[in-house]
Structure 1
Amino acid sequence: MEELFNYILQFGNLNKQQIDLIASKATELELRKDDYFSEAGKVPRYTGFVLQGVFRFCYYNNRGEEITNNFVEENSFVVDYPKFESNVASSDYIQAVTDCKLLVFSRKNWEGLFNTIVDWDKIVAKIYQKCLLEAIDRRSPLVSEDATTRYLSFIEKFPSLANRVPLAYIASYLGITQQSLSRIRRNIR
C-alpha cells in the first residue's frame, strides 16, 4: 500500500484521514500470467495500481492481427481510463504479461473518493495526464524511426521489460515481425 501512497503524493497532498479512506477502498487482486484485467467489448470494472508484474494493452486490427500498444509495470496505474470514467465498453484488452499483484478500486469506491476527498479530481487529472504523456512519449518515436532505433528506444524507455516480456509482444509493440526483432537483437549484442 505504501507504493500507492508514495505515487499519489507526488500529485497532491492528503491528510491521514484521506489516506486511511483510500486504503479502505482498495482491495488486493492477483492475476496469473495471460489473465485479463479488462477486455474489449466490456465496460472496465476497476482502476488498478500495479504492485508487482507487467500488463500490456492490446487490440485486434481489421486483419485480425493482435497489436500491443502499451506496457504498464510496477508503481503505475492500469486502466482504460476514458472508458472506465465514461462507463462504456473498452476497445482494448489489458492482459497480465506476468503474474501480477495489484490494488484495485471498484467504480463505486473510486467515485466515492471523488465525492469525499477535496481536490481528488485534481490529483487524478494530474496522474492521468502523466500516464497519457508517458504513453505518447513512448509511442511517437516509433512512427519515424527505423526498426533498430525503435528497439534501442524501447530498451531505453522500458529497461526492465526486455527480459520479462515475450518477444512477440515487443515485436508487435515496435511494429515489426518477431524474426526481424531476433535479427536486430543478434546484431546489437
Structure 2
Amino acid sequence: MKALTEYILQFGSLNKQQIELIGKNVTEVKLEKNDYFSEAGKIPKQVGFVMEGVVRGCYYNNRGEEITRCFISENNLVVDYVNFEAGTASSEYLQACTDCKLIVFSKSGWEDLSHTIVEWDNIKNKMVQQCMFQKSRKGPVISQDATTRYLEFLTNHPSLTNRIPLVYIASYLGITQQSLSRIRKNIS
C-alpha cells in the first residue's frame, strides 16, 4: 500500500483519512504468469496498480497474430481505461508476463472515491493520463531496422529483458523470435 500511496501523492495531496479511505477501497490480487487481468471481448471491471511483476497489453491482428503493444511494470497503473470508463468490451488483453502482485480497485470502489474525496477526480485524471501516455509512447518505430528497435527496447526497458519471455519481446518489436535470437547473439 505504501508504493500505491507514494504513486498517488505524485499527482496531488491527500490527508491521512483520505489515504485510509483509499486503502479500504482496494484489494490485493495475485496473478500467475499468463493469467489475464482483463480480456478482449469483456468489459474491464477494475483498475490495478502493479506492486510486483510485469503485465503486457496485447491483441490479435487481422491475420490472427498476437501483437504485444506495451509492457507495464512495477509502480504503474494497469487498466484499459477507455473501455473501463465507458463500460464497453475491450479489444485487447492485459496479461501477466510474470507472476504479479497487484493492488486492485473495483469499478465501484474507484468511483466511490470520486464521491468522497474532493481532489480525487483531479488526481485520478492525472494518473490515467500518465497510464495512457506510458501505454502509447513506447511502441517501437517499425521503420527502424530490427537491431535498432531492440537496442532502443533495452534503453527504454532495461529491467525487462531477463524477466519476460523473448517471444513477447519479439512480438513487441515486430520480428520473429529467431530474428531476435540472432540480434541478441550479434550484439553480445
The Cα shift of 1:132 comes to 2.2
Q: Deviations over 1:156-186 (max 9, x none)?
A: 1111100011111000001111111111101
Corresponding position: 1:48 with 2:31: no
Q: Which residue of 2 aligns with 1:9?
A: 9
User: Which residue of the partner structure matches residue 97 of structure 1?
Assistant: 97
CA deviations on 1:24-43 (whole Å, 9 max, x unpaired) are: 00101011111111010000
Matched ranges for 1:1-189 at <5 A: 1-139=1-139, 141-189=140-188
Cα-to-partner distance string for 1:55-77 (whole Å, 9 max, x where unaligned): 01111111111111011011111
SS at match of 1:30: strand
2:165 & 2:10 partners in 1: Cα distance?
32
Distance 1:83 1:173 in 2: 22
- AA aligned opposite 1:116: T
AA of the residue aligned to 1:183 = R
For residues 136 and 42 of structure 1, what CA distance do their matches in structure 2 show? Answer: 21
How many residues align? The count is 188
Gaps of 5+ in 2: none
Q: Deviation of residue 125 (structure 1)?
A: 1.2
SS at match of 1:13: coil
SS of alignment partner, residue 47 of structure 1: strand
SS of the equivalent of 1:144 reads: coil
The TM-score with structure 2 as length reference comes to 0.97
Q: Which runs of 5+ in 1 are unaligned?
A: none
In the TM superposition, residue 113 of structure 1 has moved relative to its aligned partner by: 0.6
Q: Distance in 2 between matches of 1:27 and 1:132?
A: 23
Supply the AA of the counterpart residue of 2:134. E
CA distance in 2, matches of 1:137, 1:90: 20
The separation in 2 between residues aligned to 1:33 and 1:132, in whole angstroms, is 23
Shift of 1:129: 1.5
Structure 1 residue 142, shift from structure 2 partner: 1.8
Structure 2 contact 46–105 (Cα < 8 Å) conserved: yes
Instruction: State how far apart, in whole Å, the 2-side matches of 1:16 and 1:120 are.
Output: 14
Separation in structure 2 between the aligned mates of residue 90 and residue 136 of structure 1, nearest angstrom: 16
Query: Among the aligned pairs, what percent are the same residue?
Result: 62
TM-score, normalised by the number of residues in structure 1: 0.96
Q: CA deviation at 1:136?
A: 3.0
C-alpha contact 2:56 2:97 (8 A) present in aligned 1: yes
